[in-house]
Amino acid sequence: MKKFPTLFCLIGLFCSATVFAQQTYPNRSIQMIMPLQAGSGVDILMRPIVQRMGENLNQAIVIENIPGGAGLIGATKVAQSPSEGYVLGAFNDSILTMVPNLYPKVEYDPITSFVPISQIASITFVMVANPSFSANTAADLVRIAKANPGKIDYASGGNGSPQHIGMEMFRQLTGAPLVHIPYRGAAAAVTDVMAGQVPVMISALSVVLPHIKSGKLKVLGVASKKRSSLLPNTPTIDESVRGYEFSTWGAIVAPKGTSSAVVSKINDSLAAALKDPKLREQLTQQGFEISPIGSENLKEVTAQGLVRMKRVIKEGGIEPN
């Protein structure tokens, strides 16, 4: 009988400590792991948002880029981190829906290893080409590729990268016999398309917009269903190749077991950041469509994406680098 009061006291102390930790969260800086290169679409999206979130929480949020293994290294580190809210993940949908279908063994489960906090924005993609390439529309690319089977290359940030998946979906839809040239990261792929080493690729608009404005790249089409306000005179790919649509999204997640109170604080800081009209305008001008959704919706979107990407990757015979 004497053990029960002691046990109840211990439980009470634990609960009190947990409540206190939640009430004082955050009391030190937060690490935001991004399993992608600096300068990627998600990196460009997240940096100004994270700065505002840190201001709202009165603590610094420090982004750490941990690329490698198509995102496996950084994502695994988030999954294996303590669930205290001091390590978060800034992911794109590739980490959660493409990579798990690409590798035979992944050290995290995209559904159960993370607490989804919120999707932040969809990332507009565009098909771009070297200005000297003869195609001016997506339909032109299909025609040229079919007239020259196996001779028209496209660049990507690596096997299974969003650029690869986007073009593979285009190839599957059109039957265009395009040849994939994988690079170690999207930045290197963009550089070689500008140099004329590879004629074409699909890329996040935020990454290539400065090169489009400078005339170093031309746009064959916007991959979204509707035209971009940043390129109002540029047709969508769907306008010349019916049925094509591709975009990705950026989101914030926490390790499994993170408390609902901590998740709520992070989400509140995000919501407050996204209410800033200057920030919204900045993101819009970089090609992002702000689309915050809650935890349960993000989990559902991830599950649906896993099924869709499994089909694309299997049909394309896509394997890791």
Identify residue 239 by its one-letter amino acid code. Answer: E
Q: Hey, do 20-123+248-316 and 125-239 end up sharing a CATH topology, with the first three levels equal?
A: yes
**pLDDT at residue 22 in the model:** 56
Cβ neighbours, 10 Å, residue 150: 9
Distance, in Å, from the CA atom of 300 to the CA atom of 118, rounded to the nearest integer, reads: 12
Provide the residue ranges of all domains of the chain, joining segments of one domain with +. 20-123+248-316, 125-239
Q: Where are the beta strands (DSSP E) in the chain?
A: 30-34, 61-65, 87-92, 114-129, 153-156, 179-182, 200-204, 218-222, 247-255, 288-293
State the angle between helix axes of 41-57 and 205-213 in degrees (0 to 180), rounded to the nearest 10. Answer: 110
Distance, in Å, from the CA atom of 193 to the CA atom of 216, rounded to the nearest integer, reads: 9
Distance, in Å, from the CA atom of 107 to the CA atom of 102, rounded to the nearest integer, reads: 13
Buried b or exposed e, range 243-282, using 16+ CB within 10 angstroms: ebbbbbbbbbbbbbebbeebbebbbebbeebbebeebeee
Distance, in Å, from the CA atom of 220 to the CA atom of 198, rounded to the nearest integer, reads: 15
Identify residue 262 by its one-letter amino acid code. Answer: V
Comparing CA positions, the residue from 178, 158, 38 lying closest to residue 102 is 158
Distance, in Å, from the CA atom of 317 to the CA atom of 269, rounded to the nearest integer, reads: 41
**pLDDT at residue 2 in the model:** 47
pTM (2 decimals)? 0.84
Residue 173, token pair as written in the block: 């839809």
State the angle between helix axes of 277-284 and 41-57 in degrees (0 to 180), rounded to the nearest 10. Answer: 170
With a cut of 50, list the residues of the chain below it in pLDDT. Answer: 1-4, 13-18
Q: What is the largest CA-CA distance in the chain?
A: 86
**pLDDT at residue 170 in the model:** 98
CATH architecture of 20-123+248-316: 3-Layer(aba) Sandwich (3.40)
- Could you say which of 3.40.190.10, 3.30.360.10, 3.40.50.720, 3.40.50.2300 is the CATH number of the domain covering 125-239? 3.40.190.10
In the block, residue with structure tokens 């591709």: 246
Buried b or exposed e, range 155-169, using 16+ CB within 10 angstroms: bbbbbbbbbbbbbbb
- Phi, then psi, of 320 in degrees rounded to 5: -60, 160
Task: State the number of CA atoms in the 13 A half-sphere of 305 facing the CB.
Answer: 23
Contact (Cβ atoms closer than 8 angstroms) between residue 26 and residue 85: yes
Identify residue 67 by its one-letter amino acid code. Answer: P
**pLDDT at residue 14 in the model:** 45
In the block, residue with structure tokens 């001779």: 151
The number of residues making up the chain comes to 321
**pLDDT at residue 16 in the model:** 45
